[in-house]
Structure 1
Amino acid sequence: MRSPHTFDPELAAALAMMPEVDITDLAAARAAQGRQVTAALAASDSAGVDVCDFLAPGPPGAPDVTLRVYRPQSRARGAGPLPVVYGIHGGGFVLGSPDVDHDWNLLLCRELEVLVASVDYRLAPEHPFPAALEDCYAGLRALTDYAGALGVRPDRIALWGDSAGAGLAAALTLLCRDRGGPAVCFQHLCSPALDDRLETPSARLFTDTPVWNRDNARRSWDAYLGAEVRATAAVSAYAAPARATAEALAGLPPTYISVMEFDPLRDEGVDYAHALTSASVPTRIRMLPGTFHGAWAVEHATVIRGATEEAIHVLGTALGRR
């Protein structure tokens, strides 16, 4: 059932072709996403980019972590080390892999001439918090530990994430600061999942929005944290960064947050931007009018093309590429 909200006309026209996401049956949801990703990968064009997988040492007692690495062919290894975009895919903590962001990672690599690394973290509920976060940390740690061999600049690493991936990026930024590194110079958070309590006005209002709604958000947090833990005092800011105090946010790197107008996650992104600003963290926020969670997939829509251009510009500026 489609929501009556006033969507951007180009996005509204595309809705009929967009599959609903329902993680009630997680096996079915993963199978459906797998079919979609397989078709998308078959149509991808990786011209100008070398793509390979890099196996990073995993967290203590856990498996190694795979990083999908994208390197621009226009930059020979002898031309000097590259800045890095460290990407964390979305999927409500329960879906996804680096494959879902493959075209986006190719675009960033080509446009910015940076190394892009996309982390394949473990998924909930099989691997609840803090497995995904520790995998993301291990992958980032390996990038800096092997910076010379990989030809990257450990002082110019920007984090990028979408949805649950943006929540993990925000948590990873906190974790890196508190563990004394690796250094993160910028975080770019798209439609971030930050607050397990689901008490914001948008979380209460948007129960029927396309792609993602309140029920999906609740199920995803229950899978990640445990139904008996979600929305209790036991949840830390490393699990749900909206829980961070103003003091805990001080000293974080510059941040850009984009949110969708008709998205249950909208207000937690807005609130986080305000909290960062109050902690004197340079922060910009952009709300995309007429959009819904997952609207990034409608690449031809004017509002999404504009948001894509802005995201590339923002990341490029942060990494000295603009």
Structure 2
Amino acid sequence: MNTLPLVLPELRPALDIFPSVDLSSETLPALRSALEDRAAQAFQTAEDFRVTLEQRHIPAGGDDERTIRLLTIRPTHTASSPRPVLLHLHGGGHCAGRPEQNTGDLCRFAQELNCLVISPDYRLTPETPFPGGIEDAYTTLCWIHDNAETLNIRRDQIGVTGESAGGNLAAALCLLARDRHGPAILFQNLIYPMLDDRTVNDAPNPSPTAGEFVWTRASNTYAWDILLTPSRPGDENISPYAAPARATDLSGLPPTIMTVGALDLFLEEDLLYAQRLIRSGVSVELDVVPGAYHAFDVTDAPIAKQTLERRITSMRRFFSPSED
């Protein structure tokens, strides 16, 4: 089905500049290059905010001598009391991207929520398949918790957020922290999260309106293939820490904010996950954006700005008001 008539008119111009090539081993270098360019441009926007950006390197843990690079963003004014912290996980299909590509939004979160923002440069596929990325995310979460005094943050106010593959990692991190009895997570803000490897397979009744633009079924198949190797998408016994939709028990997870476009390939898997969370007693705030495709919010369209405002408002409700 040609779904272009369903796209919001304000989002149609951006389709001329978004990549239209399906992701594959041949096109992956181009995606990485595009996101590097975006990161470089976005990083320049930091000067528009009253924040301080720093890089840190933390131990990867265990016998691994590797370090994990973190981008940290904090408000410039001194806090008289510990701040909340927002752990961010960037998108890019698990195979591309870095924290700086979201600099503008992260600076705004730090400034408007008066919180510390930390975003790890986690390992990517295909060089490091599952569980590399999620273990880096969990290591970062534990480091934040263990260094709360040094960071001047509150251990009881750690929120997580991520978009697309980062939404996958954020959702998986909540499952992993629950199951390992790790640090408590205050909320999860999932932005069009990539949750279910089974979406790549031919469903009995696939949506005729989802996934035509930006992130296609072919791109999704490639991304899941290189994440799950040597397993394949749709195999039995895929870990829920790779594909959170595989989790059989969603009880005890933190309150959830979820945003997805009505034309996004991930719409139906996200709606099902939200429904299952609600049935498990988890508070869910769901924002389905009509006429929006995957990653619509990286545009300058009014709907992108409005959606970002709603996310900030939602996260503010979880973080205790600060007098600073």
Q: TM-score range by the shorter chain?
A: over 0.9
The aligned counterpart of 1:106 is: 107
The aligned counterpart of 1:190 is: 191
- 8 Å contact kept, 2:174–2:253: yes
- 8 Å contact kept, 1:203–1:267: no
The aligned counterpart of 1:311 is: 311
Identical residues among aligned pairs (%): 35
Q: What is the rounded CA distance, in whole Å, between the counterparts of 2:8 and 2:100 in structure 1?
A: 28
Q: CA 1:117–1:3 in 2, change beyond 3 Å: closer, same or farther? A: same
Q: CA 1:219–1:5 in 2, change beyond 3 Å: closer, same or farther? A: farther
Gaps of 5+ in 1: none
For 1:218, the aligned partner's letter is T
Q: What is the rounded CA distance, in whole Å, between the counterparts of 2:231 and 2:272 in structure 1?
A: 25
The aligned counterpart of 2:47 is: 45
The aligned counterpart of 1:149 is: 150
- 8 Å contact kept, 2:297–2:303: no
TM-fit CA distance, 1:5: 4.4
**What does the per-residue CA deviation read over 1:77-104, in whole Å, with 9 as the maximum and x for residues that have no partner?**
4x11110111000111101110111111
TM-fit CA distance, 1:61: 3.7
Q: What is the rounded CA distance, in whole Å, between the counterparts of 2:261 and 2:129 in structure 1?
A: 27
**What does the per-residue CA deviation read over 1:22-79, in whole Å, with 9 as the maximum and x for residues that have no partner?**
42121222123222332333354253101101222214244221111111012x14x1
Q: Secondary structure at the match of 1:253?
A: coil
Q: CA 1:225–1:61 in 2, change beyond 3 Å: closer, same or farther? A: farther
TM-fit CA distance, 1:307: 0.9
- 8 Å contact kept, 2:162–2:170: yes
Q: What is the rounded CA distance, in whole Å, between the counterparts of 1:167 and 1:111 in structure 2?
A: 25
**What does the per-residue CA deviation read over 1:283-322, in whole Å, with 9 as the maximum and x for residues that have no partner?**
12110011000101113x2222221111000111111249
Given the alignment, which residue of 241, 246, 250 partners 1:243? Answer: 246
For 1:195, the aligned partner's letter is D
TM-fit CA distance, 1:226: 1.7
Q: CA RMSD in A?
A: 2.0
Task: Write the mapping of 1:1-40 to structure 2, written as runs, cut at 5 A.
Answer: 3-20=3-20, 22-24=22-24, 25=26, 26-40=28-42
Q: Secondary structure at the match of 2:235?
A: coil
The aligned counterpart of 2:270 is: 269
Q: CA 1:159–1:320 in 2, change beyond 3 Å: closer, same or farther? A: same
- 8 Å contact kept, 2:211–2:265: no
- 8 Å contact kept, 2:71–2:118: yes
Q: CA 1:203–1:217 in 2, change beyond 3 Å: closer, same or farther? A: farther
Q: CA 1:187–1:172 in 2, change beyond 3 Å: closer, same or farther? A: same
Task: Write the mapping of 1:66-145 to structure 2, written as runs, cut at 5 A.
Answer: 66-74=69-77, 76-77=78-79, 79-145=80-146
Q: What is the rounded CA distance, in whole Å, between the counterparts of 1:139 and 1:270 in structure 2?
A: 28
TM-fit CA distance, 1:227: 6.3
TM-fit CA distance, 1:118: 0.8
Q: CA 1:150–1:202 in 2, change beyond 3 Å: closer, same or farther? A: farther
After TM superposition, the structure 1 stretch with the greater mean CA deviation from structure 2, 196-205 or 163-172, is 196-205
Q: CA 1:23–1:318 in 2, change beyond 3 Å: closer, same or farther? A: same
TM-fit CA distance, 1:267: 0.7
| TM-score, normalised with respect to structure 2 | 0.92
TM-fit CA distance, 1:21: 5.4
Q: Secondary structure at the match of 1:291?
A: coil
